Amino acid sequence: MNQLARFLLIIVSIIVTAQFAFAQYNPQSFSAMQWRLVGPHRAGRVTTVAGIPGNPAVYYFGTPGGGVWKTIDGGRVWTPIFDDAHVASIGALALAPSNPDIVYVGTGEETVGAGVYKSTDGGNTWTHAGLDQVRYISAIVIDPKDPAVVLASGRDYAMAGQMRGIFKTSDGGKNWKQVFFWDDKTSVVALEAAPDDPRTIFAATYNLQIDPANRRALGSESLIFKSTDEGDTWRQVAGVGLPNATPRGTIGLAIAPKTNAKRVYAILNNGFFRSDDGGITWQRSTNDPRITGSTYFGKTYVDPINPDLVYVMQTSTYRSLDGGKNWESYKGAPSGEDQHVFWIDPQNPERIILGSDQGAIISLDGGHTWSDWFTQPTGQFYHVTTDNQFPYRLYAAQQDSGSVAVLSRSDFGIITYRDWFSTGAFESGYISPDPQNPNIVFSVGWYGSVFRLDRTTGQIATVFGPGAKYRYTWETPLVRSPQDAKTMYLGTQFMMRTMDNGETWQEIGPDLTARSPAEKAVGVIETISPSAAQAGEIWVGSSTGIVQITRDNGATWANVTPPELPARAGVTLIETSATDANTAYLIASVAADLRPYIFRTRDAGKSWQKIIDGLPDNAIARVVREDGQRQGLLYAGTENGVYVSFDGGDHWQTLQLNLPTTSVRDLHVHGSDLVAATYGRGLWILDDVSPLRQVDETRATALFKPAEATRVRFDNHPDTPLSVDLPHGDNPPEGAIIYYYLKAPAREITLEVHDANGNIVRRFSSSTPPPDKRAANVPEYWFAPPDVLTTNAGLNRFAWNLEWEHPDALTYNFRGRHIDYIEYTLPDHAVPGKTDSRWKNFSPAAYD
């Protein structure tokens, strides 16, 4: 790494902008800014999978928050194919047996969807195909001969209503008819057609209920139904032999081949059952305690050729070779991979795609070997923070997979598995690297505990355990003091504080979660925000909807809960201003309520204002962060994307840019970068937010002051570079990002970089240079595009690598527009008249 490069002088035929506050700006003012995927390529949960019969290369999977993905090379590289639909949550996916280019996708799983979508070209393009009022599509069945005949099942555990049950279309989604409805609280969770009698279809219903004693899912109305006319009419199967006692939980169904729809397998909370007469009578197949269903699992599958070969999805995938009597663990890991969905090629059962909490994997040999799931950037992340190293690391907890610390840029040119490590945190916990020693990382572990990782030894120690006294939440907050690097705060029902980097902990203040002194406190602290503007000031919010503030390090507390807070709301996040001790922002959420709730106070909680103008009314607010450099500049993450405000939250506008539609759970400002943790598409960075801090549309042209930049090599390793098709995150642009704004398209512009003495260091223009006609012995993708200034109306972006113009000589590297990766025999290929003919041979290398 070369020394820090500070800009001396930049001269361009446009004017330096001044800061000017507008309520909202034209989206063109930010259009050239780009979100950059960091990764890591460690996959998240998969909800549905499919493949093409007879084709070992093409497979699909859907995710709860990352859209639909496709591979055409057997799982080495996966590509998102559903981003243009702008719906991230996928509940079902099916390919037409008669034409696999016809794909139906049912949306809504982790979050609310938008009905059914259809593609007729293998996922290249999509059209909406109805049922937009059905919030969650749980299954899709397509007629094997007519792809226009489709059944789709709907569920909704959160809200009662009529838009659930089973729906049928006979015209490819133009019109739908509800063909089954039980009641306004009961969902359909399974829909299976018999492989040798496709007009016979089985369905299972479920009504989610929660046991208040232990918060476990119970459920009622777990019933099995059957249709023999391709879904037009339905009747409940007799079910003799199935347990009468609830909870049966969610029922998973599989219909065996070669049985004329007579043999049916079912997995319930109560065990594994089998029917050999089409559902009239049932027998428990096994007493194996591993083979049970649950709300989270609850699926079973049968081989398309062998009716006795059965699979059950649990913490492992279990397999039975004798029709469900005896079972073996087929695929899994000691920590529990949590297996969910399965597809077996009906033409070759050796080909399988499996979806789990860790992603989608493929086997071509019946499960003896599997592809890798470190190829899919579909991680579901909660909270993100950074350290103060260069390059800095992003620390975040990933649902189902633990935690990660990943570099913001890699010395290998691209960000891969070499560039991240686990911190030992729980899958949903906060992480806090020690600002004085980046090798020490604190994180929230299992059940509200706190871990301390020492990277120099690789050891993890528990420094706090909640025991029986303290309550904790799924996302237990752990926050470091902005004034004292050794002080951290932890949320239970009390505020816990350590002043010696985790060695000892003390309660500061009473139980902060009770709504009134007479009420029994049952809540937990969900969010903690110490003020950077005033030492000793700390804000907390609870699951019971209480906001408390202390200004004396916890000696006294004041309840400053907004009276406008909805009933049953929990306070999920508080953000205090870095410059004004009286200003804070909070986010609240209400179960089954999709509306955003963001509030602001400018008088330390005496009064609050709701600030949601410009936010969609069907996207839960997840996070709000203050920029800290420009007054009034705020960022917000919602269930469908990122938003920005320039007036303290009075008005919001989208900052989505190229970020795919997904749930944005956290945002973090690191210097001039904005970091985003998404719940389904990994971690992203918006490199250099200078345009947001300096934007001013009153001028026809403007050059934004660049952020401080550091010159580094693209790849510090002269060995064979990593393959370009290796799944990876992207490095930031080399050197400095230079933004300039043009109110109207320009014909030609130039940009010059001068040193302090006025000497020209580099000169760039909008003119396209003549093509380099020299033959190269590497593909074009190794070559960077020419350094050409764009002249678009709105914001333009240009990256300068902080280097002087290369001398007029043989080039020496395989990257950049100066590449000449050719073996030379001099003087035949020498620069005419400027090389010494005594040199006989030259091979490219990485000289600097």
Q: pLDDT tens, 240-276? A: 999 986 678 899 999 999 999 999 999 998 899 999 9
Residue 292: which residues within 8 A CB-CB, separation 6 or more?
267, 268, 269, 270, 271, 272, 314
User: pLDDT confidence of 2, banded at 50, 70, 90?
Assistant: very low
pLDDT at 808: 59
Q: Look at residue 807 in the predicted model and tell me its pLDDT.
A: 65
Task: Indicate the Cα dihedral angle 22, 24, 27, 29, nearest 10°.
Answer: 10
pLDDT confidence of 283, banded at 50, 70, 90? Answer: very high
| Residue 647 identity | D
Distance CA 207, CA 247 (A): 10
Please name the residue that has the structure tokens 């390793």.
Answer: 717
The counts of H helices and E strands in the chain are 1, 67
134 vs 819: which has the higher pLDDT: 134
| 9-13, 90-94, 347-351: the lowest-pLDDT one | 9-13
Instruction: Please give the average per-residue pLDDT across 430-447, as a whole number.
Output: 96
User: Burial level of 616, CB count in 10 A (0-12/13-18/19+)?
Assistant: middle
Tell whether the model's pLDDT for residue 806 goes beyond 90: no
State yes or no: pLDDT of 816 exceeds 70.
no
Mean pLDDT, the chain, rounded, equals: 90
> CA-CA-CA-CA torsion for 535, 707, 743, 21, nearest 10 degrees?
10
Average pLDDT on 465-493 reads 96
In this predicted structure, the answer to whether residue 25 has a pLDDT above a threshold of 80 is yes
Determine the average pLDDT of the residues in 141-164: 94
467: region left, alpha or beta (phi > 0 left; psi from -120 to 50 alpha): left
List, edge to edge, every strand of the sheet that includes 79-80: 48-51, 59-62, 68-71, 79-80
Closest by CA to 708, choosing from 736, 670, 734, 680, is 736
Determine, yes or no, domain membership for 3.
Answer: no
pLDDT band at 217 (very low <50, low <70, confident <90, very high): low
Mean pLDDT over residues 553-575, rounded? 97
Phi-psi region of 692 (alpha: psi -120 to 50; beta: other; left: phi over 0): alpha
CA-to-CA separations, 46 to 49, 114, 135, 341, in angstroms, rounded = 8, 19, 19, 8
Q: Is 848's pLDDT higher than 80?
A: no
CATH number for the domain that contains residue 239: 2.130.10.10
Q: pLDDT tens digit string along 616-674?
A: 999 999 999 999 999 999 999 999 999 999 999 999 999 999 999 999 999 999 999 99
- Give the pLDDT score at 220: 65
Residue 828, in any domain of the structure: no
**In-domain check, residue 795:** no
Which residues does 613 contact at the CB level (< 8 Å), separation at least 6? 650, 651, 652
* Residue 271 lies inside a defined structural domain of this protein: yes
Return the higher-pLDDT residue of 126 and 714: 126
Q: Strand, coil or helix: what is 782? A: helix
pLDDT of residue 296: 82
**Which of 696, 695, 674, 693 lies closest to 685 in space, CA to CA?**
674
Confidence of residue 7 (pLDDT cuts 50, 70, 90): very low
Host H or E run for residue 693:
helix 690-694
Number of domains composing the chain? 1
What pLDDT is recorded for position 699? Answer: 73
Does any domain span residue 622?
Answer: no
The Cα-based distances of 815 to 36, 265, 412, 692, 783 in angstroms read 20, 58, 13, 31, 5
Confidence class for position 598, pLDDT limits 50, 70, 90:
very high
Instruction: HSE, CB side, 13 Å, CA atoms: give it for residue 379.
Output: 30
- Percent of the chain beyond pLDDT 90? 75
Residues 6+ apart with CB under 8 A from 153: 92, 137, 138, 139, 140, 165, 166, 167, 187, 188, 189, 190, 191, 203
Please give the Cα distance from 523 to 514 (Å, whole number): 7
User: Is 627 among the domain residues?
Assistant: no
Q: How many Å apart are CA 462 and CA 708, to the nearest integer?
A: 39
Q: 766 pLDDT exceeds 50?
A: yes
How many residues comprise the chain?
A: 848
Among 378, 634, 62, 796, residue whose Cα is nearest residue 642: 634
Whether the predicted pLDDT of 522 surpasses 60:
yes
- pLDDT band for 14, please (50, 70, 90 cuts): very low
- Give the residue numbers spanning the domain of 69: 43-363
117 domain residue, yes or no:
yes
Which value, to the nearest 10 degrees, does the dihedral of the CA atoms of residues 97, 98, 104, 106 take?
-40
Q: What is the residue-wise DSSP string for 581-648? A: TT-EEEEEE-TT--S-EEEEESSTTSS-EE--TTS-TTS-EEEEEE-SSSTT-EEEEETTEEEEESST
- Point out which residues pair with 421 in neighbouring strands: 405
223, part of any domain: yes
Classify the phi-psi angles of 158: left when phi > 0, otherwise alpha if psi is within -120 to 50, otherwise beta. Answer: alpha
- Predicted pLDDT of residue 771: 83
What is the structure's pLDDT at 728? 95
Q: Kindly report the CA angle at 649 between 643 and 654, in degrees rounded to 5?
A: 20
- pLDDT tens across 677-706, in order? 999 999 999 999 999 999 987 677 788 988
pTM (whole model) above 0.95 = no
3-state SS class at 128:
strand
Q: Poorest-confidence range of 74-83, 131-140, 762-771, 779-788?
A: 779-788
Q: What is the mean pLDDT of residues 510-518?
A: 88
